[in-house]
Amino acid sequence: MPESQLTLKLTTGDAVIIMMPARGYDMTPTMYSPDGRIYQVEYAIETVKRGTLAIGIKAKDGVIMAVEEIPRKLQVAGVTQKIFQVDDHIGVAAAGYIPDARTQVDDARSFSQSHKLIYDMQVDVETVAKHLADKCHQYTQYSGVRPFGVSLIIAGVDQRGNLVYVTDPSGTFVSYAAVAIGSGAEDVNAFLEKNYKGEMSIDDAAALAIAAIDLKGEYKDETKHIKMAKVTKEKKILEKISDADIDKYSKMAKQKFPKQS
């Protein structure tokens, strides 16, 4: 009998127990392995870990989103592939398989506009995060589909204040004060835990995000690999941060976090 069909056969009286190989459980997101794992979801989460960094930070006067993008020589400058606008007051930063992020962002935009038409008010940040997390979870329950290979930072300002959420391929969504996803996220999150302060300004949060991205030290004297956006408590509108301002925040990062810069 082929190994793919059978690895172990035990006979106990009249009962026959067939043990399937572990790899047989990684072909679908709808089946648990004997040790309680869903391998396709774990593979999707591993895809996120291979993506470049994305960071979200909550400040006293708004939220910051920053991403690391390694540009190619002939790539058009000033166009980010990893930060998206969902509504006037909500942005998304992605890490992992970016085409999956675009699909989720399109869904979030439709959901946000439908909410505005039905209730005549802007959608809450948490409501968008929960909606996207529910969609992620659905893709772990049906055969013929695969989990989304991307995590999203959903950040914005609404009637509840300044908020940052993270979704992952399993359908989990969690609120954070500061968080990093993508390659090297464990070290960056440890850095954020050490240096984040709840009452920091949005400028300080931007400097902290740059210092966190530059932990690896590959582009410490440059900022062309960093794209940023913000939503301030005053305007409640997603705004792209210019390259000149990113340079300014980079200088602040070197002063405030000299050991990491």
Tens of pLDDT, residues 180-200: 999 999 999 999 999 999 899
- 134 shares a domain with 29: no
DSSP code at position 226: E
In a domain, 76, yes or no: yes
Strand partners, 10: 17
Report the number of distinct structural domains present in the chain. Answer: 2
Per DSSP, the three-state class of 115 is helix
Shared-domain flag, residues 27 and 100: no
Residue 58: give its domain's CATH number. 3.60.20.10
CA distance 89 to 186: 28
The average pLDDT across 161-178 equals 97
Query: What pLDDT score was predicted for residue 247?
Result: 94
Assess whether 53 and 129 both reside in one domain. Answer: yes
Q: Please, is 245 exposed, middle or buried when counting C-beta atoms within 10 Å of its C-beta (0-12, 13-18, 19+)?
A: middle
- Beta-carbon-side half-sphere exposure of residue 259 (alpha carbons within 13 Å): 3
Q: Do residue 217 and residue 131 come from a single domain?
A: yes
184 shares its domain with 86: yes
Distance CA 172, CA 153 (A): 12
Q: What local confidence, expressed as pLDDT, does residue 21 receive? A: 52
Instruction: Mark whether 202 and 161 lie in a shared domain.
Output: yes
Q: Where in the sequence is the domain holding 20, given as residue range(s)?
A: 8-37
Residue 23 has a pLDDT of 61
Residues 148 and 184 in one domain: yes
* pLDDT tens profile 42-67: 999 999 999 999 999 999 999 999 99
Residue 7 binned pLDDT confidence (cut-offs 50, 70, 90): very low
CA distance 148 to 139: 7
Asked if 72 and 144 sit in the same domain, the reply is yes
Q: Please report whether residue 238 resides in a domain.
A: yes
Whether residue 171 is found in the same domain as residue 212: yes
In a domain, 70, yes or no: yes
Same domain for 72 and 111: yes
CA nearest 102: which of 132, 140, 72, 146?
Answer: 132
| pLDDT given for residue 220 in this prediction | 64
Whether pLDDT at 3 is above 90: no
Q: Is residue 1 part of a domain?
A: no
Residue 59 within a domain = yes
Q: What type of residue sits at position 121?
A: M
Span 98-154, pLDDT tens digits: 999 999 999 999 999 999 999 999 999 999 999 999 999 999 998 888 999 999 999
**93 within some domain:** yes
The model's pTM: 0.88
pLDDT of 49 reads 95
Residue 2 domain flag: no
Question: What rounded mean pLDDT belongs to the chain?
Answer: 89
**45-69 burial: b if 16+ Cβ within 10 Å, else e:** bebbeebbbbbbbbbebbbbbbbbb
- Co-location of 104 and 213 in the same domain: yes
188/227 Cα distance (integer angstroms): 17
In this structure, the answer to whether residues 119 and 184 fall within a common structural domain is yes
- For 85, half-sphere exposure in the C-beta direction (CA atoms, 13 angstrom radius) is 12
230 within a domain of the structure (yes/no):
yes
Percentage of residues of the chain with pLDDT beyond 70: 88
| Other Cβ atoms within 10 Å of 159 Cβ, number | 9
pLDDT value of position 1: 42
